[in-house]
Amino acid sequence: MQQYSGKSIFKGIAIGKIYFYSKGEQQVKRHKIEDAAGEITRYNNAKEQAINELTKLYEKALKEVGEGNAEIFNVHIMMLEDEDYNDSVNNIVENQSMNAEYAVARTADNFYEMFSNMEDEYFKARAFDIKDISERVISILNGASTGSDIGNEPVIIVANDLAPSETVQMDKDKLLAFVTELGSSNSHTAILARTMNIPALIGVKIEESWNGKMAIVDGYTGTFYIDPEEEMLNEYKAKKEEEENSRKLLQDLKGKENVTLSGQKINIYANIGNVTDLAAVLQNDASGIGLFRSEFLYLESDHLPTEEEQFQVYKQVAETMAGKKVIIRTLDIGADKQVDYLNLGKEDNPAMGYRAIRICLNEPEIFKTQLRAILRASAFGNISIMFPMIISVNEVLQIKKIVAEVKAELDTVGIEYGEVELGIMIETPAAAIISDLLAKEVDFFSIGTNDLTQYTLAIDRQNAKLDPIYDAHHEAVLRLIQMVVDNAHKEGIWAGICGELGADLSLTKRFLEMGLDELSVSPTFVLPVRKEVRETK
C-alpha cells in the first residue's frame, strides 16, 4: 500500500479504481502553406466550432453547477474572440506562411508566457485558460475529439491538472473524486468539486502507473491511499456507509428550525448567482437568500442589462421565494470579474482597484437603473438591497441619497415598491473598524469573509503559492467579525456572514457565541449547517 498527503478541497470519502486522466496535448506539426486566405478560413471555422462547443458547455454547467461556476465558459468564449489573440494567429499564418495549427500553438505559447509573467494573480490564472481554449481549437483543426470520456464505471480521476471544460464534460455519475498535482483551493475546478459534492485533493505528486489500481480518497484528512489492504478497505467502506447514512439523515432536517439546544436561533440563507440556482435553494430548504450576486446578469450579457431585463429576473426570484427574504447585492464588477462593454481597462492591482460600489457611485445612471429594477421587484416579495466594498460613511450617505432619488422618480410615475432594508457588506478592515459609525446608517451588515480575510492578511486568495499561509481562521479576522457583530447589535441592527467561512462547520459554534444573526452559504451547505446549529448547546 502507498499513502500520499494532499490538501483537501472538499471533505468526503471515495473508494474506487483510479482513472489517470491525460490531457493528450495535440502534436502540432509546422509546415508551410500556400493559400493563407484558405488557412485563415480554416482557423475561423474551427474557432466558431469551438465557440459553439463552449456555449453548449456553458448551458450544461448552468444546469449542473449553477451560474457562477458556468461563467468561466463565457470567459473562454470572450478570449477566443479577443482581437489581440486573433491578430496574432492571422499574422503568423499570413506573414510566416504557416499552418493554422502552428499559428494557434505559437500564439498560445506567447500569450501563456506573457500572462504567466504578470504580477497580478488574476492574469496569471488566465494563462491556463489560454492553453485550454487553444488546445480545443487545435483539436478541432486536427479532427480530434474535444470530449472528456472517462469510461463506463465510476472512477477516481487522477490528473496533473484539470481545466473547467474537462470536468464539466465528464459524466457526473462516473465521478467519485478528483486528485490533482496542480491547482489551488480557489481554482475553478476546486469550486466545481465543492459544488458537485465530490471529494477532491490537490498537491499530490501523481504517477501514471496508478491507472486502474484500487484507491481511497479521504477528504477529511487529505490522504490518498493506493492499493489499500483489505482491512483498511473494509474500514473505509464502513466510514463511507456511515457518511451516506448521515447525508440521508440531513433530509430529515427539512422544515426544522435553525435553533440550538439552548434555544438560540439563527437564520440560514443561501447564496445564488441566478434564477437557475433557485431549485437548489428550495431543495435544500434555505430560509431565504442571503446573497444574490446580481453581477452575473452583467457578466452573461453583451450589453448593459436594461431596467426591464433586470426587473424580470429580480421579480422571478422574489415571487419564487414567496415572502422569504431575498438580499440582492448591487453590481460587484471589477477585479476578477470583467465585462468588455464597460471598458474598465486593466489595472495593476484590480482587487483594490476600480470595482463594485466605486463604479456605481461614479456611474450613477448605471446604478440608478439597477436600483429602479430592484425597487420595482420589491413589490412582489421580501427584497433587501446590499452594497459591496464599502469603506466610509460618506459612501453610504451618497448611496442613501441616490436611493431616495430613485424612490422619488418611482413615486412620480405611480410605480409601487415595497419596504426595502438597506445593508452593506463588510469586506474591508476599514469598514469593520468603523462599523460602529456605519451601523447608524444602515439596516444590516453582511460580512464577506473571503475579501475580509484577503485584505486583513494582505494575501491574494487566488495565489496558490500563498495557500499554506492563507488562514481564514486567523484570530485577526475572527476579532474583526466579533467587532462588527457587537457594533451592529449596539445600534439594533442584525449582522450575518455571506462568505465561504459561513459554511465552515468547525466555526459554527464560535459564530453562535459571537451572536451572529445569519449565515448565508451555498445551497448544498444549508442542511449541514442546520444540523451543526441544532446539535450545539
Which residues are within 8 A (CB) of 418 and not within 5 positions of it... i.e. 6 or more apart?
378, 379, 381, 382, 383
Report yes or no on 454 lying in a domain: yes
Q: How far apart are CA 5 and CA 322, in angstroms?
A: 46
The mean per-residue pLDDT over the stretch 223-245 comes to 90
Q: Which three cell numbers stand for residue 167?
A: 470536468
Q: Which three cell numbers stand for residue 511?
A: 459564530
| CATH code for the domain of 443 | 3.20.20.60
User: Is the same domain home to 167 and 130?
Assistant: no
Report yes or no on 105 lying in a domain: yes
81 is in an annotated binding site: no
Model pLDDT, residue 343: 66
Residue with cell 457562477: 68
Q: How many domains does the chain have?
A: 3
Single residue among 113, 142, 171 that ends a domain in this structure? 142
451 is in an annotated binding site: yes
| CATH code for the domain of 170 | 3.50.30.10
**Domain of 302?**
265-534
30 is in an annotated binding site: no
Given pLDDT bands bounded at 50, 70 and 90, which one contains residue 63? Answer: confident
Model pLDDT, residue 143: 81
Model pLDDT, residue 126: 76
Report yes or no on 122 lying in a domain: yes
Asked if residue 122 has pLDDT above 80, the reply is no
| CATH code for the domain of 95 | 1.10.274.10
Given pLDDT bands bounded at 50, 70 and 90, which one contains residue 524? Answer: confident
Report yes or no on 166 lying in a domain: yes
User: Is the same domain home to 458 and 514?
Assistant: yes
User: Is the same domain home to 85 and 202?
Assistant: no
DSSP-based three-state secondary structure for 235: helix
Report yes or no on 259 lying in a domain: no
Query: Phi then psi for 463, rounded to 5 degrees?
Result: -90, 105
Asked if residues 157 and 150 have their Cβ atoms less than 8 Å apart, the reply is: yes
The secondary structure of 396-422, three-state, reads: HHHHHHHHHHHHHHHHHCCCCCCCCEE
Q: Which three cell numbers stand for residue 419?
A: 419596504
Asked if residue 304 has pLDDT above 70, the reply is yes
Asked if residue 216 has pLDDT above 90, the reply is yes
Model pLDDT, residue 435: 97
Whole-number mean pLDDT of the chain?
87
Q: Which is it for strands 382-387 and 494-497: parallel, antiparallel or unpaired?
A: unpaired
Single residue among 182, 214, 235 that ends a domain in this structure? 235
Report yes or no on 217 lying in a domain: yes
User: Is the same domain home to 386 and 287?
Assistant: yes
User: Is the same domain home to 439 and 353?
Assistant: yes
- Digit-coded pLDDT (tens) for 457-476: 998 866 778 888 888 899 99
User: Is the same domain home to 96 and 190?
Assistant: no
User: Is the same domain home to 211 and 178?
Assistant: yes
**Residue among 303, 474, 489, 498 flagged as catalytic:** 498
Report yes or no on 228 lying in a domain: yes
Asked if residue 337 has pLDDT above 60, the reply is no
Report yes or no on 474 lying in a domain: yes
Q: Which three cell numbers stand for residue 259?
A: 435553533
Asked if residue 69 has pLDDT above 70, the reply is no
Given pLDDT bands bounded at 50, 70 and 90, which one contains residue 62? Answer: confident
DSSP annotation of 30: P
- Digit-coded pLDDT (tens) for 367-395: 999 999 999 999 999 999 999 999 999 99
Give catalytic status of residue 474 as yes or no. Answer: no
**Residue among 188, 303, 360, 473 flagged as catalytic:** 188
Q: How far apart are CA 505 and CA 527, in angstroms?
A: 11
Given pLDDT bands bounded at 50, 70 and 90, which one contains residue 234? Answer: very high
Give percent of the chain above pLDDT 90: 55
- Digit-coded pLDDT (tens) for 144-193: 765 566 777 899 999 888 876 677 677 777 889 989 988 766 566 676 67
- Digit-coded pLDDT (tens) for 255-264: 899 999 999 9
Asked if residue 444 has pLDDT above 70, the reply is yes
User: Is the same domain home to 357 and 501?
Assistant: yes
450 is in an annotated binding site: yes
User: Is the same domain home to 68 and 212?
Assistant: no
Given pLDDT bands bounded at 50, 70 and 90, which one contains residue 80? Answer: very high
Asked if residue 516 has pLDDT above 70, the reply is yes
DSSP annotation of 263: -
The mean per-residue pLDDT over the stretch 433-448 comes to 97
Model pLDDT, residue 474: 94
User: Is the same domain home to 154 and 115?
Assistant: no
Asked if residue 341 has pLDDT above 70, the reply is no
Query: Phi then psi for 386, rounded to 5 degrees?
Result: -125, 135
Q: How far apart are CA 127 and CA 119, in angstroms?
A: 12
Model pLDDT, residue 372: 96
Give catalytic status of residue 498 as yes or no. Answer: yes
The mean per-residue pLDDT over the stretch 502-513 comes to 95
Asked if residue 354 has pLDDT above 60, the reply is yes
Single residue among 142, 160, 182 that ends a domain in this structure? 142
User: Is the same domain home to 51 and 174?
Assistant: no
User: Is the same domain home to 182 and 283?
Assistant: no
Given pLDDT bands bounded at 50, 70 and 90, which one contains residue 441? Answer: very high
